[in-house]
Amino acid sequence: MTSDRLSELHNSFKEKLLFGRYINNEKIELALRKMEQYFDVSTIGFSVEKRPIYSVIVGNGPTKILLWSQMHGNESTTTKAIFDLLNTFTNNEFSDILKSCTLLFIPILNPDGAENYKRVNANDVDLNRDAQDLSQPESRVLRQCFDDFAPHYCFNLHGQRTIFGVGDSGNSATLSFLSPSEDEECSITKTRKIAMSVIASIVKGLQEDLSSAIGRYDDGFNINCVGDTFQSLGVPTVLYEAGHYKNDYKREITRLYVFKALFYGLDAISKQPTGNDFEAYFNVPENEKNFFDVIIRNALLVNEDDETVDIAIQFKEVLINNTIAFISYVEKIEKLNNYFAHNEIDANGAMTSDQNNDVIEIGNEIVFVMLNNRKILIKS
C-alpha cells in the first residue's frame, strides 16, 4: 500500500463529523450510529459522571488487538484517526488486516475528561497513572476489557504537546512512538522487541511523509502507566503520540499521518512480526523538550540595558463555548540558543513591549507585541 494510496483513502473516508481538537462523546455518538450496521458497537462501562464508554469490534481474524484513545481527555487526534480508519473498513479496504486480526477499539476511554477538555478524569485522576490501583471506573473498564478480550497486542493512543522536537534536529516531533519498559532496567525483552519491530515497520512506512519528524518517546519505567503494565504482562504494546505539524494547531494534518501509522502498525501485525528486526527502533531519535510555540529573538526589553534576549511564548489550550482557544503566555525570557519554535520572530534589537506598552514578564498573557511601536500579533 503506497503512501499516495493511503492519502487518497483518507481523503475519501475521513469522518466529517469530527474536526478540530474538541472531540467528546456527543460527537462520536453520531459517527458510531453509522458504524452499527457494519460492526459490533457496545457500551462497555461508564465514567465517573456516568457517561458511556463505547467499544467497536472489527474483523474476525485470530490475532487480537486492543486499541484505546483519549485516555487523556484533551488528546483527541487519534480518536479522529480511529473513525477515519473505521470508515475505510466499512468500504472493504484493508480486508487482509480484518482476515488476520480482530480489532477492539475504545474511541474515548475518558469521556468526562473529553467533555471538559482535561487530561484527567472527573476525579482529577490521571488514568495513565492508575494501572495498578485501578481506583477509577474508567481504569477498571480498560483492565476488564484487557482481561476479557485477552489481546495479543495493544495500541495505546495519545497526543503530545507542541514542546517536543526530534532530538536536536530543529524538527518538530509530528509523531512519536514507544515500546514501553517492563522493569526499572528498561530490559530489552522478547515482548518489547516485538513492539519495537512493529514500530520499526510504522516508521519505515512513514519515511516518505515524515522522514525527519518522528521521535522516540522516553522509556523510563513506571508500572502505574498502562503501557508498562500491559507490556509487563507479556502483551506487546505500542504507544502512539500525535504531535505537531507546522501551522496545524487543529491537528488535521497530523490526523492523516496517524491514520497512516495505524495502517502500517496493523499491517505489520497481520504479517506476524518476530521481533528479529527490532534494532531499527533505536535509529529513531529520542524526543527532546526543546520547542516553544513562538520565540521572539533578539528583543530589547523596555527599561532594560542594551543586551538583547529571546522571549519564549507557549499556547495554553482553553475550552471556550465548545471551541478550543489558544491563549499565549510568556514562558521564558533569556537567551534560547538551544531551543526552537514553530514560529520565530526576529526583533533585530527593536524595543519590545506587550500590548499595553509595558515590560514583558514571565507568566503574562500576551496578545501581541510591540516592536518599536509596530504591532505583531501572536497567533496559533
Residue 372: predicted pLDDT: 87
Residue 307, amino acid = E
pTM over 0.85: yes
C-alpha cell at 108: 474515548
Dihedral (CA of 171, 172, 177, 183) sign: positive
Helices (H), 234-351: 252-270
Q: Give the three-class secondary structure for 285.
A: coil
CB-based contact 216:175 (threshold 8 Å) = no
Which CA distances in Å does 57 have to 30, 60, 76?
17, 9, 20
Residue 303: predicted pLDDT: 72
Q: Would you give the DSSP letter of residue 359?
A: P
- Compute the C-alpha angle 35/36/42, nearest 5°: 105
C-alpha cell at 250: 487543529
Which CA distances in Å does 175 have to 21, 108, 261, 364, 366?
16, 20, 9, 30, 29
Q: Give the three-class secondary structure for 64.
A: strand
Residue 306: predicted pLDDT: 79
Dihedral (CA of 256, 156, 135, 108) sign: positive
- Compute the C-alpha angle 285/106/209, nearest 5°: 35
Q: If phi over 0 gives left and psi between -120 and 50 gives alpha, with beta otherwise, what is residue 81?
A: alpha
C-alpha cell at 59: 474483523
What does the pLDDT profile of the chain (380 residues) look like in tens digits? 999 999 999 999 999 999 999 999 999 999 999 999 999 999 999 999 999 999 999 999 999 999 999 999 999 999 999 999 999 999 999 999 999 999 999 999 999 999 999 999 999 999 999 999 999 999 999 999 999 999 999 999 999 999 999 999 999 999 999 999 999 999 999 999 999 999 999 999 999 999 999 999 999 999 999 999 999 999 999 999 999 999 999 999 999 999 999 999 999 999 999 899 999 999 999 999 999 999 999 999 977 667 899 999 999 999 999 999 999 999 999 999 999 999 999 999 999 998 888 899 999 999 989 898 889 999 88
CB-based contact 240:157 (threshold 8 Å) = yes
Q: What Rg value do the Cα atoms of the chain yield, rounded?
A: 22
* Dist CA 148 CA 160 (whole Å): 30
Residue 40: predicted pLDDT: 98
Show the domains of the chain with their CATH numbers: 3-289 (3.40.630.10), 291-377 (2.30.40.10)
* Dist CA 323 CA 329 (whole Å): 19
Nearest to 217 by CA among 204, 235, 199: 199
C-alpha cell at 355: 500590548
C-alpha cell at 22: 474538541
CB-based contact 85:103 (threshold 8 Å) = no
